[in-house]
Amino acid sequence: MGEVPDGVDLDALTPWFAANVDGFGDGPLRAELIAGGRSNLTYTMSDDSHTWVLRRPPLGHVVATAHDMTREHRVMSALAGTDVPVPQISAHCDDPLLIGAPFYVMERVNGRVLRELEEIATLDPDEARRCSHALVDVLASLHAVDYEAVGLSDFGRPDGFLARNVARWGKQWAANKTRELPAIDEIARRLDASLPESGPATIVHGDYRLDNTMLDPDDAGRIAAVLDWEMSTLGDPLTDLALLLVYWGAGGSEIALSSTRGVSQVPGFIPIDEVVTRYAEQSGRSIEHLDFYVVFALYKLAVILEGINARFLMGKTLGEGFDEMGAGVVALADAALDRAAQSSDPLLHG
């Protein structure tokens, strides 16, 4: 048996799997850390005949509400049977004592996660175009789900969502910051001064992008699963669209959080304007105040990166690439101020 990765305890998990996970046999339980996750930790768990995926919070996480396993488990269970493809949940454990944190187990979906631009570039132009359309269409499908009908009416507080989130990410910054960055404080002030009125609330993924999805291994134009629901809630769906646009290349920033940033440079991926147009057509939503949402997305990503940077400086990260996080925070803050300066909204100009 190979070395057991940090964050799981096979002696504790083996009897728990036997009692809670259908299909677990007599073979020894094995665990492997899946590369790519820089927030919650994801492992493949296998015996002699089956493989599952286990998700738990990061080691040494400092803001508990940002890594809510019950939230991920609940939203994916609710979305089963809708037009939004999600893995089937196998079991959930809210006892933090078993392995040091709550966790859940889900099926392993057969699919491709494109984590690097080099991988994305293996798609031919037709595959890239269809992948683009699928990403936008699945997001619109998520925002079309009747959250009350699927049992998520108490999943969030959509009233005052934007104002509350601007304030929340300011508190996240205060909790995680490793240095003073006046640009972050200035962006927060401008966002607070220019809050638009939200349209009808929907389920919000909170971190929707290409590498948080799995593509059908035989059809790049079909999304097999949407992953990483740790930030999901009820709120303003344009926050999801804006975040997707930033990863697509909006803002002109080099974003260290995702190695798939700037996918629009890959031949076949539709340009940002077409992403916006297709989403507006599919969803029927106004995009009048999109600048606000893009600035907010850049700000939010900067705060997230600073939290990861703080864990890196404490020696509480697993994997590589974390030494880039600190510089990424500064790049995102600068990009947010640049986008605000170019906006037609004078309140975003400062």
Report, in this order, helix, strand and coil percent for the chain, each rounded to 5. 45, 15, 45
Q: Does domain 10-107 correspond to CATH entry 3.30.200.20? A: yes
When mean pLDDT is compared across 14-18, 131-135, 158-162, 317-321, the lowest value belongs to: 317-321
pLDDT, position 255: 52
* Of 38, 269, 328, the residue nearest 133 (C-alpha): 269
Q: Is the separation of the CB atoms in 254 and 152 below 8 Å?
A: no
Predicted structure pTM score: 0.87
Name the residue with higher pLDDT: 246 or 317. Answer: 246
Please give the average per-residue pLDDT across 17-29, as a whole number.
90
Q: Is the separation of the CB atoms in 303 and 169 below 8 Å?
A: yes
User: What token pair was written down for 205?
Assistant: 């993924």
Please give the average per-residue pLDDT across 176-181, as a whole number.
93
When mean pLDDT is compared across 11-25, 64-78, 138-152, the lowest value belongs to: 64-78
The SS3 call for residue 42 is strand
Annotation: CATH topology of 117-349? Aminoglycoside 3'-phosphotransferase; Chain: A, domain 2 (3.90.1200)
CA dist., res. 14 & res. 30, Å (int): 9
CA dist., res. 26 & res. 93, Å (int): 21
- Helix residue ranges per DSSP H, the chain: 10-20, 69-79, 117-120, 125-144, 161-176, 182-193, 238-248, 272-283, 290-313, 325-342, 346-349
Q: How confident is the model at residue 258 (pLDDT cuts 50, 70, 90)?
A: low
Which regions of the chain carry the CATH code 3.30.200.20?
10-107
pLDDT tens by residue, 295-322: 999 999 999 899 989 988 888 877 777 8
pLDDT, position 64: 47
Which regions of the chain carry the CATH code 3.90.1200.10?
117-349
Residue in this structure with the two tokens 């699919």, named with its chain if needed: 111
Is a pLDDT exceeding 70 seen at residue 257?
no
pLDDT, position 350: 77
Could you give the dihedral angle defined by the CA atoms of residues 323, 326, 331 and 337, in that order, rounded to the nearest 10 degrees?
Answer: 160
How would DSSP label each residue in 317-335? --SS-GGGHHHHHHHHHHH
* Of 27, 26, 28, 32, the residue nearest 8 (C-alpha): 32
Half-sphere exposure of 98 (CA within 13 A, CB side): 16
User: What token pair was written down for 162?
Assistant: 């934007």
